Amino acid sequence: MMKEALIRLPADPDEAQQALASAGLTDGLPVVPPTAARVQRMLDANGCDPHAVVATLPPLFGPATWHDIAVNAVMAGCRDDYLPVVGAAIEALADDAFNLLGIATTTGSATPLVIVSGPVVQGIGMNSGANVLGPGNRANATIGRAVHLVIQNVGGARPGEVDMSTLGQPAKFTFCCAENAADSPWPPLHAERRYAADASVVTVVGAAGIVEIVDSESRSAGELAHTYGASTLIAGSLGGAGLLGGGEPLFIMPPEHAHIFHDDGYGKREAKAAIYEHAALPVDRLSASVREKLALRREMGAANHAHVVRAAATPDDVMIVIAGGVGRKGAYVPTWGGTTRAVSRPVVAGRRR
């Protein structure tokens, strides 16, 4: 698919940009022209068979070869050693549990968030500290961008054609961060997901946005859990989407907040349970029509209490990732109102599939 579209690129940089944009292969921003030499260098550096299919990628179920992934990684501005991380993310996205078909075609604003944990974070120089979700780090920015370009160019989720998001969100350009394991009081994310402690792992989450959580006053785990749980009480995310416990709400928690929980004797599981208890939106805060919809779903057997709506069915469905620098500002990342589960895949160098 990508190879046919890139048989020849104009030598002039401006003309190359125009040719790629006219072919619908960019995200609206300038890209690095994916010359044959650049793509081959990336493949050779990682020992990848260009013809090997890494995944069959929704929504149009295009086969994503290593060549395809490398083309998009080059366009995104990735260094050669980022390719295994991008490839692991693509494998994860193709898992049925993630439901990329739904996320890539919904009229909602859902988009994949790529979370990287383990030794590869330092190995390729990812940012896990200050401004972790913002600009300033090549690895974070270009890995996330490459993943979204692959979804568009190989999976077929072209904006306005197959990707029918009403508003979209800036994270559709790039949404990638690394876990701050060094400053976390808890085991790393990938260990929680049953990978070896020394493994490098990519986890993808179907993110529907981001809400800042500011709490510089709470001094106990209980108080902080209240702030985090209450930050999920958004009618449009819960009742409006009819989520009814179908998601895995993600909290990106700064180290200072994590240490408040830890110092009070809370492991991550206890922190999740405490947050969950406060993450209940009374149904009387929803519109009458939404309440009728929820009542109908309860009659059909949907699992939810008659008087509240939650962003997760159980405390174990709550996700916490430690990231960020100095300061007591975290983030709530609502997950898509359809059916999606976080999926992880290991990062392996020298991929010859």
Domain ranges in the chain are 1-178, 209-335
The Cα–Cα gap between 180 and 109 comes to: 27
- Residue 292 is predicted with a pLDDT of 83
The mean per-residue pLDDT over the stretch 305-316 comes to 82
- Provide the pLDDT for residue 352: 45
* Cβ atoms of 82 and 73 closer than 8 Å: yes
Secondary structure class of 214 (helix, strand, coil) = strand
Whether residue 313 is predicted with pLDDT greater than 90 in this model: the reply is no
Residue 293: pLDDT band (50, 70, 90) is confident
Report, in this order, helix, strand and coil percent for the chain, each rounded to 5.
40, 15, 45
Both tokens of 197, joined, read: 């402690």
pLDDT at 294 over 80: no
244, 211, 316, 247: which is closest to 99 by C-alpha?
Answer: 247
Element (H, E) at 321: strand 319-322
Shortest CA distance to 278 belongs to which of 225, 206, 342, 328?
225
CA–CA gap between residue 322 and residue 306 (Å, rounded): 33
Element (H, E) at 288: helix 288-299
Q: Is the pTM value of this prediction over 0.75?
A: yes
| 241-244 contacts at long range (C-beta below 8 A, 24 or more positions apart) | 241/108, 241/337, 242/290, 242/293, 242/294, 242/297, 242/337, 243/309, 243/310, 243/311, 243/337, 244/294, 244/297, 244/302, 244/303, 244/304, 244/309, 244/310
Residue 337 has pLDDT above 50, yes or no: yes
Is residue 216 helix, strand or coil? Answer: coil
Lowest mean pLDDT among 37-46, 194-203, 317-326, 344-353: 344-353
Distances (CA, A) of 207 to 68, 193, 251, 261, 265: 25, 19, 11, 25, 30
- Cα Rg for the chain, rounded, in angstroms? 21
**Which residues does residue 63 pair with via DSSP β-bridges, in sequence order?**
56
pLDDT tier for residue 301 given thresholds of 50, 70 and 90: low
Helix (H, G, I), strand (E, B) or coil at 93: helix
